[in-house]
Amino acid sequence: MENHFHYESQNKYNIAQSKSMTLPKFQLHVHDCYELYYFISGDVTYYIEGQSYEIKNNDILIINNQELHKPVFNSDLTYERMTIHFNPEYISKYNNDNFNLLQCFEERKPGHLNRIDHHNIYTYKVDHYFDKIIDYIRRKPPEAEVMIETTFIQILVLLNKIYSQTDNLHIKSVDCDPKITRILNFINNNLNRKITLKILQNKFHLDKYYICHLFKENTGFTILQYIRYKKIMKSKEMLLQGITCNEVSISLGFGDYSSFYRSFKDILGISPREFIKINS
């Protein structure tokens, strides 16, 4: 992978553009921050919370910090994209009673309305604002930081204007099987339970092997992988609320602390207690 550039403003946002001749392998993942994903070129299906998006050049994806996602490459075409990861608390200071810059990230169901079509990007000239950011990052004039920040805010304003006109979103995605939608809802509403394939089989009256195949086909994730990630995401919220590690492991159906510890460290790379220390 060849990184074209990476720009970071501490505790606010980081911006990167990269181009991949050799396609990277992405696992199911989620960020602590929000993400703007500007697709430049390639042949990609993007999976977000059970929904699959066949993205085209200059489409934009909006992804919040609760949405599991990953790209899947359909061919070996060169893959290029630009991403802006940002702290939503930083953006909140620009909100007022009449306009919420985070609306398009927060006021929708997980995995729904993530894609903003390139037609809208061109109509509202959003691509020009990304070009401005790239220009400031590369030239580095004295005013670069303030211009990058204000240009980014203008991008969010435009995306929310597009989002508020839902009919203009041109959502084009592979419809998720209704059975999978019910399974996803059940998982997300029962993270406090130990969820097994047998439980899902009995609940939905479907063969467990069929469930596994259907889930993977529709979401790009294995069902057990999805359950584990969702539980760990929930555990982060609980730990930050002051709930003890042992209480979290019991509450989320891990059975014992050692199982919770292994899953937490495997996904996040640190132990639950290290996570608490870093965020205290």
Mean pLDDT of the 94-100 span: 91
Mean pLDDT of the 146-154 span: 96
Confidence of residue 187 (pLDDT cuts 50, 70, 90): very high
Is residue 191 within 8 Å of residue 231, measured between CB atoms? Answer: yes
CB-based contacts of 184, cutoff 8 Å, min separation 6: 49, 50, 111, 176, 219
Helix (H) or strand (E) holding 9: strand 2-9
DSSP strand pairing (60-63 vs 51-54)? unpaired
Q: What is the DSSP letter of 29?
A: B
pLDDT at 167: 60
pLDDT tens per residue, range 106-147: 998 888 889 999 999 999 999 999 999 999 999 999 999 999
Is residue 173 within 8 Å of residue 53, measured between CB atoms? Answer: yes
Task: Give percent above pLDDT 70 in the chain.
Answer: 95
Mean pLDDT of the 170-199 span: 80
Q: Whole-structure pTM over 0.85, yes or no?
A: no
Confidence of residue 5 (pLDDT cuts 50, 70, 90): confident
pLDDT at 2: 46
Query: Higher model confidence: residue 104 or residue 27?
Result: 104
Residue spans of alpha helices (H) in the chain: 88-92, 103-106, 118-123, 126-139, 144-164, 178-189, 197-204, 208-219, 223-240, 245-251, 257-268, 272-279
The residue length of the chain stands at 280
Neighbours of 251 (CB within 10 A): 17
Is residue 18 within 8 Å of residue 4, measured between CB atoms? Answer: yes
174 pLDDT more than 90: no
Burial class from Cβ neighbours inside 10 Å (0-12, 13-18, 19+) for residue 183 reads buried
pLDDT tens per residue, range 6-47: 898 877 899 999 988 877 777 778 888 999 999 999 999 999
Instruction: At 112, list the tokens.
Output: 């729904």
Please provide the average confidence, as pLDDT, over all residues in the chain: 89
Considering Cα of 66, then 215, then 113, then 71, what sign does the dihedral take?
positive
Confidence of residue 171 (pLDDT cuts 50, 70, 90): very low
Instruction: At 18, list the tokens.
Output: 């990269």
**Radius of gyration (Cα) for the chain, nearest Å?**
20
Confidence of residue 166 (pLDDT cuts 50, 70, 90): low
Query: Higher model confidence: residue 92 or residue 153?
Result: 153
Neighbours of 122 (CB within 10 A): 12
Is residue 31 within 8 Å of residue 44, measured between CB atoms? Answer: no
Burial class from Cβ neighbours inside 10 Å (0-12, 13-18, 19+) for residue 8 reads exposed
pLDDT at 172: 47
Burial class from Cβ neighbours inside 10 Å (0-12, 13-18, 19+) for residue 189 reads exposed
